[in-house]
Structure 1
């Protein structure tokens, strides 16, 4: 009897882990990765002064890297040694592609089969609708990422050779290419300057913006384009992501150009070429790269609001971008328009959108807005800063953007922890995090009587 009970206990322990749903496993995996990164960044030889970072600063930096955000409490170039910078680059790469992607890649290289649970994990990690073709998608994601990052690194290295010399230019090219493709926003330019010194440099601006756009539209979109190669054959999801990305990039550029045209602290005193490049870059990066060619602290209030809206929307699903995603934003607009027209269905390009997707879009948006409001309220109690700075910081963390009005280095320890939690929630996904924490409930086999309520 004793042996039987002991055997039962041994079986139950691993079964609890096995029964962990993909959302919970994904969240735990990111936490483990953040923990490893924190310990590595706390090593004395990770920093140039040989004095290890405090736990809260190392945790913040590791979270920002794994969650591909780019918010920093210490300057990356002047604080970290090459070892520390490489640790950040690896965390960005693994966090951007997803640790499950690397896990599956290693399993494939070892000749192991990927079971159902592994495919479900990949599906959750890359935010896909089905588990069909998950292994093929992982192979494409890794190969495509390495090729694009290599091309970006070479272009940047060639451009920066005249500024830094070839060895340093190659290293800078690799670091910034990885950071840009994964929409992380970490830079090595020093003094929290990002790429403000290259506002009129066509090569740097267009290379970085191209990398972040490609990385941010989503791997399923890139695979769809590779397979079909024809606009008519593309899926509705791909068409919508490409259309919304184009519209938001154009509108973002136009608004920034108009609002900052006469602002001497940003583009007001620059030539037309610099104004156009600076406006374009700032119109693109809030969704969700984190680099900045303009001094965000000097933006007009109107530009700050536009930037916050773009950060909240984010990029495409299943990519390296954050935010509520462009498809979520588009479905909300379509649902509102359908309601105004008194249409019973939401239609797009000759297709009907399932109602459960509309509900999901509204749920993600309301949940995200509530989370942002809660953290802003908490920061108002811990930080001595204007509301616009707090709101900008929180939305940047949630959208895994990395832009700041200058508040990040001055945050209190509790404020840093709140922003770190926000970055984690933004990367894992608000709905995924909610599913990970929620207890599974069985569906009720009954419905309550219907009764109407007056609204509006």
Structure 2
């Protein structure tokens, strides 16, 4: 009986939440050790825990510079946290279990289903295995290209290491870099190779593994699943709209795009649009953006990447489902339709729930930061949204946060990576139960 009660308590949502929390704690301990820092002195635990949270939640917000603070051991710890956090610790665990030949039970399959955000248990083990193989193949291929480019600026052995580090960080949408002094990729703002490779990695990581597998297997575009069609449509729309927005808003800003040639401005605008979707790399100084551009970035960060991907945010599918529902209301349609398919009302309801919970969480965290930090409101909102969307972009505010502010941002990064709904389910004391009683309906006046 005790075992049954224990099993009921350990729901998939709680296992996922607890797994990420444990991984962060282990990473924080390792990064606080003296032999993880260049100075030989241990980093204070709060900053180490913040770094581990940012790496595991593939965010990229940093309170200490990765290159100058951490030696090779510390950097490899961060890289491991990024890879495990990006793939999901259950995906990595599943691959290890498969490799060792152990059997995977029903409970483990349920947790994997929750982690991968898929609707069926069928094929989840095969999907988890393919995710790891696809990830390694993509990262190695583009790491080679980056290593070749970096070899023009640094010794070959260092270029290979930088290529691998930044390929993994890009694909996992983490945004950690090794160029020092919080510069990110600003030194390569006009370099087409670095920009294009990093953008491709960010986009692939942000599409979601199920989408990549579906695109790979589908014989023709019309055979793609509705989920894949919505993801590709919304991703393309956001990338194009985002680039146009940045180009128009920043083209005359002397501190960002102003000094660049028109083609370089376009490249930088495209990169900014891509990275705002949860990647965190920067080729321009976000502390110099206009308020309009900051708000534009906040919108893109809040939407984020796609379900089942390495990115955060409320997700592209959530956004497009809400938009389609609003359109159906305005046009007087009874059902929400996309690509001649009727959407399940429960999907629509869940999309609104995700958006509302996320908005409440964002408002709450921003309000808390206004109490702990003496900074401009727009910068605090930007920081909170960046943490929620696991983006990692900052107006250079992160290192200036107070200890309380760092704790708040850490919790926000964790909530953003686990997912607000998953986190809410994990914190719910009672298991979900279907209502046995139906109450009478009554109409209300709204709007």
TM-score range normalised by the length of the shorter chain: over 0.9
Which residue of the other structure, out of 91, 94, 102, is the alignment partner of 2:92?
102
Give SS of 2:182's match. coil
Which residue of the other structure, out of 328, 332, 346, is the alignment partner of 1:338?
328
Matched, 1:440 2:440: no
Matches within 5 A, 1:7-46: 12=2, 16-17=6-7, 19-46=9-36
Which residue of the other structure, out of 409, 414, 429, is the alignment partner of 2:404?
414
Q: Which runs of 5+ in 2 are unaligned?
A: none
Which residue of structure 1 aligns with residue 162 of structure 2?
A: 172
Which residue of structure 2 aligns with residue 8 of structure 1?
A: none
C-alpha distance in 2 between matches for 1:338 and 1:369: 23
The count of corresponding residues between Structure 1 and Structure 2 is 446
Which residue of structure 2 aligns with residue 4 of structure 1?
A: none
Which residue of the other structure, out of 223, 237, 242, is the alignment partner of 2:227?
237
Which residue of the other structure, out of 179, 183, 200, is the alignment partner of 2:173?
183
Which residue of structure 2 aligns with residue 450 of structure 1?
A: 441
Spell out structure 1 runs of 4+ moving beyond 3 A. Answer: none
C-alpha distance in 1 between matches for 2:400 and 2:155: 34
Which residue of structure 2 aligns with residue 309 of structure 1?
A: 299
Which residue of structure 1 aligns with residue 282 of structure 2?
A: 292
Structure 1 residue 274 displacement after superposition: 1.4
Matches within 5 A, 1:24-423: 24-423=14-413
Structure 1 residue 15 displacement after superposition: 5.1
TM-score (norm 2): 0.98
Give SS of 2:153's match. helix
C-alpha distance in 2 between matches for 1:269 and 1:381: 38
Residue by residue over 1:12-52, the C-alpha shift from the partner in whole angstroms, topping out at 9 and shown as x without a partner, is: 26851564110010000000100100010011011111111
Contact 1:49 1:79 in 2 (8 A): yes
C-alpha distance in 2 between matches for 1:217 and 1:347: 22
Q: Which runs of 5+ in 1 are unaligned?
A: 1-10
Q: Report the CA distance shift for 1:84/1:211 in structure 2 as closer, same or farther (over 3 A).
A: same
C-alpha distance in 1 between matches for 2:443 and 2:217: 48
C-alpha distance in 2 between matches for 1:129 and 1:117: 15
TM-score (norm 1): 0.96
Contact 1:324 1:368 in 2 (8 A): yes
C-alpha distance in 1 between matches for 2:370 and 2:309: 32
Contact 1:200 1:273 in 2 (8 A): no
CA RMSD of aligned residues (A): 1.1
Contact 2:94 2:129 in 1 (8 A): no
C-alpha distance in 1 between matches for 2:126 and 2:149: 35
| Structure number, greater radius of gyration | 1
Contact 1:316 1:326 in 2 (8 A): yes
